Structures are given as C-alpha cells and as structure tokens.
Structure 1
Amino acid sequence: MSESLEELGGGAERFLRELNRERLQVSIGEKESTDSFSVFQRHAYLFDLFLISDLGEWRNRETGEKKKRLAYLQQFLQKNYPLAMVSDLSDLFEEKGTVKFSSCKPPLHTISDGYYFARSPDREERMGAWHQREKMLWILNPILEKRLVGLHKASRELGYQGLVDLSLEVRGFDIGWLTETIELILDRTEGLYLDMLESFLPDSLSMDEMKQHDMLHLLRGDEFTDMFPAGQIWNSLSSALSGFGANLGVIGNLRLLSPGCGGPQALPVRIPNEVYLFIEPSGGYLDYLHHFGEAGKAIQMGSTSPDMPVEFRYLGDPAIPETFGLLLQRIISTSPWLEGKGGKDDIVRFKRLFYLHRIYELRRLAALLLYEMRVNMGSPSTADDMYSSIMEEKLHVAHSREDCLVDILVPFRSADRLRGFILEAMLRKALLEKCGERWFSHPAARDIVSEIWSWGGRFGLDELANSIGYAELDIEPLVEEIEDRIRLV
C-alpha cells in the first residue's frame, strides 16, 4: 500500500469536513439541500474495495495503538462504502423531503421530524398535519426502498451477507448481547411504561385510541412550558456547562449560530477547532431537552484534545457524543436544577413526564433495533407491515406504516443511541455516588468528565466503562435507575 496511515487519515478528515460543511451551508440557508454525492465522488479513492481489504491485512500485522487506528479507519470506510453507493438517492430524498417555509431563511427539513407535525394542541388539526406528512412519505418511500436495496448490495460487495452483518461487525456488536439487551429493556419497563402513560392520557383519549402524533404531542410537555422560558435557555445552558468547566461564551472551538429555523443542532466541521452549535430557543420542556442534548454533543467534540490523531478525533464510537448529550439532558430533571421553577406538585409531575419520555425512547430504540434487524434480513416490500406491527406491540401506540423506512435512514443509529443511554446511566451513577445530587456542579465531576472529553473517541465504550469502575458496558444501572426514580416521584 503506497499511502501512509497519516495520508489515509487525512483523507478521511477532509472527506468529513467537506460533507459537514455541505450540511452547514444547508443549515444556514446558503444551499437548499446537501450534495453528498459530489463529496463522495471527490473522495472515491477512499471507498475502494481493494483499499478496504488491504487495510484489513495491514491492521492484522500491527499491534497497539497503530492497530486500533487502522481498525477505526477500516471500519469507517466499511460503514461509509454502502452510503457512498447510494449517496445520489440520499440527496434526492433530502431534496424532495424538504419543506420550505417563507418565514425561515434556510429550508426546514421536517419530513422526519414527527414532533414538528405533532405540535398542535388541537387533535383534528394535528391529525390533518400528520396525514399530510404520511402522504409525503408515501410518495418518497420508493426512493428509500431503492436506497435500502442499494445498501444491501454494497454490503455484499464488501463480503458480508447484508447490511445487518456489516453494521454489527463494524460496530463490534455481539448479536447475542444486543438481543438480550433489547429483551431486557422491553421486559423490565413494560409495566412502568403502561402505568405512567395512562397517568398522562387526556380524558378524551383511551389507550386504544392513541396514535403516534398523540404520543409525540403528549411528550412535548406543553403543560410545563412556563417552567422552561425561551429567554432563559442561554443562561441555563451556560450555567450547566460551567459546572463542567466549559463556558459557552469563551470556548474558542465552539461557534454559536442562530440562523432562524431548524432547531438546535451540533455540527462538527473540524474537530476540535470548528464545532457549530445552533441555538434556536422557542421555550418549553422539549426545546430545553433538545438544546441541552445538542450542547452536550458539541462540547464533547469541541473539548477533544487536538493532539489526538485523526482516527480518535473523528472516527470513534458515535455512542460517545450521544452519551454526553444525554448526560446534559439529565440535568433538567434534577431537584437542584428544578428548584424554584414551579410548585412541588408541578415538579413531581414534570419528573414523571421526563421519565415517561425516557422509557418511551428506550422502548422505541429497542423496538426499532428489533425491526431493523428483521427487515434487513427480509424484503423491503414487507417493511410497512412489519414496522407498524412491532412498533405498536412494543409502544402500545398506533404507528404510521409510512415511517417504516425513514425511521432507519441512518443504519443502526438506534443501536448507537441505545448504547449511549447505557453508558450515560453508568457515568451518572458514578458521578452521583462520588459527588451527590449536585453532581453537575461538583469539581470532581468536572475533572472526570473533562478528561473523558479530551480523549475524543480514543477509547471504546467498554474501555470507558472500565475508567469509571465497571468491567464492561452494563444495562443494569440504566434499568435500576429508572425503576428507582419512578418510585421516588
């Protein structure tokens, strides 16, 4: 192989910079849609079957940190090779699925944003908006079906049986562990989920009548809007991050933007020197939740040591930024943070909604993983029936068949986020035991978290679990914490 590891890593970095700058231009209104196809074409030498195979042989000859860097690079190219083969279809879906609003400078891509379509408190109006979304997806799903077929074809070109085998191997997943985790989450949270959901149902709706848009509207938590004013979100974020030694106003690597539409977003162009955080406050619980989550991801990426090689700055486990997004979100459910934001009964009820939302997302991720593994072993033509059946069985809410492909647009992203949930619960338990209820403002927590941030993606999730006192990634702290917290509120 003529290229050095540094040259190949530099190529991967340039590819990601270009791709994310495309996304940045769309987000700030300079472009209407992403042209990922051209970016993949300019870097086609990276997504070459012979290069990927040669990297595997090279990796097997090395040891230590160099072996790990080669593994990260090979896995990155393997994971993106299928996406390169269908980049034209991905661009077409984004272009056709972008809804433009005259009040927004950038177009707002809302076709996959269920919360946007579920925002109206009027059920008839909400049903109408949701029906329009279903019609749009029905038109666009042939593009996504063709794209899924292409992903499978490209996976087989890499020597795998299909997308499932490829996705699990490049992430280092053990399918037995993954299956057990899915079953455990669904089994242990079933009763809690149903009890809490029933306690939040409006009088006008029964469980049997619940639709997807009803659930998403319920989880917006509009009754708690006064506890989360739009005008205070900047101060709230700054205060939360200052506890970890991160100041939004002075972090040179973090660029704050407010383009006018699209909601909060963390977007890394160069890690750690150019990470964007979009601030779009509208107020309300869901708005705070999303802002805190994206800020956590942005700070983690922006705090990565610049001395780390490319592979550890860019190509690490995507569950790591998810972990810190979830950790920051957790702050708004703590008693110290909620103090003075409402009456005692309001705060207790809000905490119950927060944990209902958490259980819902966990069950949704587990159900999506179950569906994604099954549909990718079968035919895309059966996806709609399989999707609605699995999601309704596990979430007890009627789901739109039209969501069957847009919900798995990024292959196995649900697995990355689920593992982020697991590591976040382990980390938070360690911080709680060491620092108490005000863990998010304790100097010891700052030391622990800032050190992990500086590592970027150098360590895998099991290694990070080791660093906080666990032998490996462990689901128990997550499930136990949910059970204990719900009993307390």
Structure 2
Amino acid sequence: MAAFALDSFERQAEAFRRSRAWREYHFQSGRRPGRGLLSLYDEDFADFTSTDFFLDLQAANEVEPRQLGVLTELLASAYVEGNTRERAARAGGLEARTSITFEDDELAWRTAPRLWTNIELVPRRHELAEIWRSTTRTELNPVLERWQEEVRGALVPLSGDEWLTFWAQQRGVDLGGTAKLAESLLRLSHDVYAHALGVYFGQLELPLDDAWSADADSAFRAPRFDVVFTETTRMPVLVRALRDLGIDLEAQTELSLEKAAGSDLRTIVIGAPDEVHVVVPFVGGWQDLARCLRGLGSAQHSVHTDRTLPFWQRELGDATPGLAYGLLLEGLVRDRVWLTERVEYAASDDFRVISTIAWLYRVRKLAALTLYEQRLWAAEPGTATAADFEEALSSQLHVRHFAVDYLLGLLNTPWSTLRSSVELRAECFAAQLRLWLKREFDEEWWRSGRASNFLKRELWRAGKRYTADELLGFMGF
C-alpha cells in the first residue's frame, strides 16, 4: 500500500478549512442564506466524507502526535458534517431563512434575541419571545432531533467511543475536570450572584426566578448608560484601546469589523494572519463596545500569528486561548481606571456593578450548559431532556428558561460540540491571565508596553502551537 501523502493532505486540509470558514463568514454576516455544505462536500472536498481517507490518516507514519491529533479533529468534523450534509444544510437554512411575524412586521427568526433586548415593555417583549419559541418548536426542533441521531450514527465508522468522549479527546477537553470546574463555579458564586441579581431585578420590577431569559437580556442591555456608550464614540474608543497595546487598528487591513445577521458574536479566521472577520450583533450601548473589544481581542491572536508556522500550528488546535484573549480585552469595560481614562466615565460604580452581574450571568450559564451538554448526549432526545434543560438553567440562573430551547446548542454540529466547555475554560484562562499581567507588569497592564510585548510576542505570535494548559503552565499556574 502506498504511503499516506501527508504534505498533500495538509494542503487539502488547509484549503478545506479556509473554504469552510469562508462559508461560515458569509452565513454569519448574512451574505448567504446557508453555509453551502452541499457544494462543499459534493463538489469541492468529496474525499473528506470517505472512511478510508480518515483511516489512512490514522495509519500515517512519522507524524507528530499533536499534528495528527489536530488534523484528525478537522477531518472527523468534516466527515460527520459531510455525511449528514442534507440535514446540516436543512438546519442551517432554517436558521437563516425562517421568519416570524411580530406586530405585522416580518422578522428573521435569528434576529429576535437581538431585537427583544431593546423592547422596554414586558408584555411586548414576552410576545416576541413566545412567537420565537413557537417557531423553534415547530420548525427547528424536529430537524434538530433527527440530526442528533444522524450525527451519532455518522461517527460510528470512525470510532467506537461515545459522542462526547470522542470529541473531548479530539479537542483536549477533560470532561470530568470541566464538570467539576462548572459545579464549583456554580456553588461558589451562587450566593453573591443571587443577591446581586435580586437587587438589580428589584429595581426594574422584575421577579427573581420568574423573569424570562428575554427579560434578563433586556435588563443587561441597560439603556440608561447609552449616553456614555454612544455609537459615535465607540470606534474612537476601540482605536485608543488597541493603540494602548501598540496596535494600529486602522492599519490592520486584514481585519474587518461588521454587523452580524443573527444574534451571536463570531470571530472567523479565513486564514491566519491574512484574513480575519469579526461579526458583531449590535444592539446599542455598552454591549456593543464590549462585544467589539471581545471580538477584536480574539482576532489579534490570529492577526499576530507567525506566518512561518505550519498550517496546523497557525489555525488548528485548542480554541481556548484565542477566546480568552477576547475576554481579556472585554474585561476592560469593568475596569474603573480604564473607564475613567479611555471612556471619560469616572462615576461608573453603578455601571460596573450591572456589567459585572451580566458577566457573572454569562459565566454561570456557560457552567450550566457545560453540565447539561454532558447529560444531553448521554440521553435520548425528548421531553425528559427538554425538562432537564429548563430546570437546570432556570435554577442556576434564577431566570426562567424554556424547554423548547433544549436543542439549539446543536446548531452547527459538530463544530459547536463542547463549545460551552471551551468557552467556560476560556473565561477561567482570561481571569488567570489578567491576574498574571497585573502581577508581572502593572495594575493598569492595558497601557504597559511590556505587557503588550508579552501578549504579542509570547502568546499571540505562537498561534495555536500551545494549549491553554501549557500556556498557563509557562506562567506558573
């Protein structure tokens, strides 16, 4: 049997990853109503749906273990998506094309979570949320239920492992350790979170434990701070924030910042370091600034990646650090000195309390979703799993969630599998990195030239060569 042509495969893998990312960018930015999966796998990369192709890679000789691991993860993801492409394309098409009618206006289904944040009256907000959930129940859930079974079956020719066990191994996630992390975070933060949220909701006349998730989204939008965080000042603040780190944002032609078609923030790397897109769900106010900082922070990792690194070290591997760099910059909106110096907002105490509650809500939600996802893949889809979702999130967040949303995390499977776990780890990585920067350089690390050089030269330049655990080890954690 001829030896596996690793160099040729790497070139194919790079072309595939970029083509898939290009499609994702056009989907998330609204340029296309789908991800183009049928042409991707039927015409451009048919080999990536072949079991023999996957097994040939596993049998390749003289491959570094980490190189084999990240290439295997990419090919396995392509294999599963490609072999369920009809259902995957159907789910993506529904996500983009489904519409709802609200007060005689036709709206895209995926924009509703962004829109209800700006609806002040609770009955109107609930009406939109109920219409959105009704459409989720009738249009998306039947497809997602069947797709979950299909992707499970598609994995069988590649591995005898259970679904999450396989992907955890490929993506470097310790399921047991991550579950313990999630449980500890929920336990240790519960009292302060419940008290702070109760006080804030009381000010807004929202009932703790009975307010809907749409109400929480609206509460954290906090439009009373819009006079400080205006659309006209957002870009100048972003330029100054990056300039503090020695980065000329306006000169980064390889980086774009644009509006999302849906309600999710995405940093999409077409090719590091040459093309990166930050797609932001703008809603107004402080959240627009925070999301831009988060997206741009993640993007700097790819933009500063050493272009001489091999493809698999530039673009494949642990996603945790890249997400964490975005969270590091996003955290500036909760920094009193930064707000005073860069936003000219000295009397920021109330805002910092509310933005911190919003951050804690997000982190606790990630922890609850991390635990729920492990139970989801261990059970059969249906009413029991849906009830588990509603109970788990409602009890941990003290905000009412609904069973109908229980499968939405499957959208963009298998690429989205374990996403909550990775994002939870990224939150922890960002917190540890922030402490380290303050200890080693300055409390105001964000304007330290030495801190900037460390980020750019020691962390970002290395691309995805190192895992989050390795990077924290280098820093003494």
The answer on whether the counterparts of 1:240 and 1:331 sit within 8 Å (CA) in structure 2 is no
User: What is the match of residue 386 of structure 1?
Assistant: 388
1:210-221 paired onto structure 2 within 5 Å:
210-221=211-222
User: What is the match of residue 149 of structure 1?
Assistant: 149
What SS does the aligned partner of 1:81 have? helix
1:367-406 paired onto structure 2 within 5 Å:
367-381=368-382, 382-406=384-408
The structural deviation recorded for 1:431 is 0.5
The structural deviation recorded for 1:13 is 1.3
Closer, same or farther in 2 for the Cα pair 1:404/1:29, shift >3 Å?
Answer: closer
Closer, same or farther in 2 for the Cα pair 1:112/1:308, shift >3 Å?
Answer: farther
User: What is the match of residue 127 of structure 1?
Assistant: 126
What SS does the aligned partner of 1:276 have? strand
Of the three residues 410, 420, 428, the one matched with 1:422 is 428
Return the alpha-carbon distance in structure 1 between the equivalents of residues 240 and 280 of structure 2.
Answer: 15
The structural deviation recorded for 1:454 is 0.9
Return the alpha-carbon distance in structure 1 between the equivalents of residues 21 and 113 of structure 2.
Answer: 24
Relative to the length of structure 1, the TM-score reads: 0.87
Return the alpha-carbon distance in structure 1 between the equivalents of residues 386 and 356 of structure 2.
Answer: 29
The answer on whether the counterparts of 2:116 and 2:214 sit within 8 Å (CA) in structure 1 is yes
The structural deviation recorded for 1:379 is 0.4
User: What is the match of residue 67 of structure 2?
Assistant: 69
The structural deviation recorded for 1:281 is 5.8
Closer, same or farther in 2 for the Cα pair 1:95/1:460, shift >3 Å?
Answer: same
The structural deviation recorded for 1:450 is 0.4
The structural deviation recorded for 1:256 is 4.5
Question: Which segment drifts farther, 372-381 or 217-226?
Answer: 217-226
User: What is the match of residue 86 of structure 2?
Assistant: 88
The structural deviation recorded for 1:185 is 0.7
User: What is the match of residue 454 of structure 1?
Assistant: 461
Closer, same or farther in 2 for the Cα pair 1:343/1:429, shift >3 Å?
Answer: closer
Of the three residues 53, 56, 64, the one matched with 2:58 is 56
Of the three residues 461, 465, 476, the one matched with 1:469 is 476
Closer, same or farther in 2 for the Cα pair 1:183/1:430, shift >3 Å?
Answer: same
Identity of aligned residues (%): 22
User: What is the match of residue 480 of structure 1?
Assistant: none
The structural deviation recorded for 1:86 is 2.4
1:219-258 paired onto structure 2 within 5 Å:
219-257=220-258
Amino acid of the residue matched to residue 363 of structure 1?
A: R
The structural deviation recorded for 1:295 is 1.0
Number of corresponding residues: 461
Question: Which segment drifts farther, 278-287 or 363-372?
Answer: 278-287
Closer, same or farther in 2 for the Cα pair 1:137/1:67, shift >3 Å?
Answer: same
The structural deviation recorded for 1:112 is 7.6
User: What is the match of residue 43 of structure 1?
Assistant: 45
The answer on whether the counterparts of 1:326 and 1:424 sit within 8 Å (CA) in structure 2 is yes
What SS does the aligned partner of 1:196 have? helix
Question: Which segment drifts farther, 321-330 or 400-409?
Answer: 400-409
User: What is the match of residue 193 of structure 2?
Assistant: 193
Return the alpha-carbon distance in structure 1 between the equivalents of residues 197 and 253 of structure 2.
Answer: 43
Does residue 1:436 correspond to 2:442, yes or no? Answer: yes
Amino acid of the residue matched to residue 313 of structure 2?
A: F
What do the CA deviations read for 1:327-354 (whole angstroms, capped 9, x no partner)? 110111112221175776x511111112
Question: Which segment drifts farther, 90-99 or 50-59?
Answer: 50-59
The structural deviation recorded for 1:326 is 0.4
Return the alpha-carbon distance in structure 2 between the equivalents of residues 279 and 176 of structure 1.
Answer: 33
Return the alpha-carbon distance in structure 2 between the equivalents of residues 258 and 190 of structure 1.
Answer: 35
The structural deviation recorded for 1:325 is 1.1
**Unmatched tracts of structure 2, length 5 or more:** 101-105
Amino acid of the residue matched to residue 409 of structure 2?
A: D
Closer, same or farther in 2 for the Cα pair 1:227/1:19, shift >3 Å?
Answer: same
The answer on whether the counterparts of 1:111 and 1:137 sit within 8 Å (CA) in structure 2 is no
The structural deviation recorded for 1:316 is 1.6
The structural deviation recorded for 1:423 is 1.0
**Unmatched tracts of structure 1, length 5 or more:** 102-106, 471-489
User: What is the match of residue 293 of structure 1?
Assistant: 294
The structural deviation recorded for 1:113 is 6.2
Does residue 1:413 correspond to 2:430, yes or no? Answer: no
What do the CA deviations read for 1:114-165 (whole angstroms, capped 9, x no partner)? 3433331110110011011101101210111111111211223322343211
Closer, same or farther in 2 for the Cα pair 1:53/1:190, shift >3 Å?
Answer: same
The answer on whether the counterparts of 1:316 and 1:456 sit within 8 Å (CA) in structure 2 is no
What SS does the aligned partner of 2:277 have? strand
Return the alpha-carbon distance in structure 2 between the equivalents of residues 413 and 108 of structure 1.
Answer: 27
Closer, same or farther in 2 for the Cα pair 1:289/1:368, shift >3 Å?
Answer: same
The answer on whether the counterparts of 1:231 and 1:283 sit within 8 Å (CA) in structure 2 is no
The answer on whether the counterparts of 2:313 and 2:465 sit within 8 Å (CA) in structure 1 is yes
What SS does the aligned partner of 2:26 have? helix
The structural deviation recorded for 1:458 is 0.6
What do the CA deviations read for 1:273-318 (whole angstroms, capped 9, x no partner)? 1112347766301111111111112221111111111111111211
What do the CA deviations read for 1:439-472 (whole angstroms, capped 9, x no partner)? 11101111111021111111011111122222xx
Return the alpha-carbon distance in structure 2 between the equivalents of residues 424 and 176 of structure 1.
Answer: 21
Question: Which segment drifts farther, 252-261 or 42-51?
Answer: 252-261
What do the CA deviations read for 1:350-388 (whole angstroms, capped 9, x no partner)? 111122122111111111111111111110113211111
Relative to the length of structure 2, the TM-score reads: 0.89
Closer, same or farther in 2 for the Cα pair 1:159/1:433, shift >3 Å?
Answer: same
The answer on whether the counterparts of 2:173 and 2:422 sit within 8 Å (CA) in structure 1 is no
Closer, same or farther in 2 for the Cα pair 1:401/1:279, shift >3 Å?
Answer: closer
The structural deviation recorded for 1:396 is 1.6
Return the alpha-carbon distance in structure 1 between the equivalents of residues 393 and 179 of structure 2.
Answer: 16
The answer on whether the counterparts of 2:172 and 2:318 sit within 8 Å (CA) in structure 1 is no
What do the CA deviations read for 1:373-432 (whole angstroms, capped 9, x no partner)? 111111011321111111112112111211101134321110111111111111111101
What do the CA deviations read for 1:173-201 (whole angstroms, capped 9, x no partner)? 22321221111111111101101101211
Closer, same or farther in 2 for the Cα pair 1:27/1:158, shift >3 Å?
Answer: closer
What SS does the aligned partner of 1:397 have? coil
What SS does the aligned partner of 1:422 have? helix
The answer on whether the counterparts of 2:257 and 2:280 sit within 8 Å (CA) in structure 1 is yes
The answer on whether the counterparts of 1:320 and 1:420 sit within 8 Å (CA) in structure 2 is yes
Question: Which segment drifts farther, 117-126 or 264-273?
Answer: 264-273
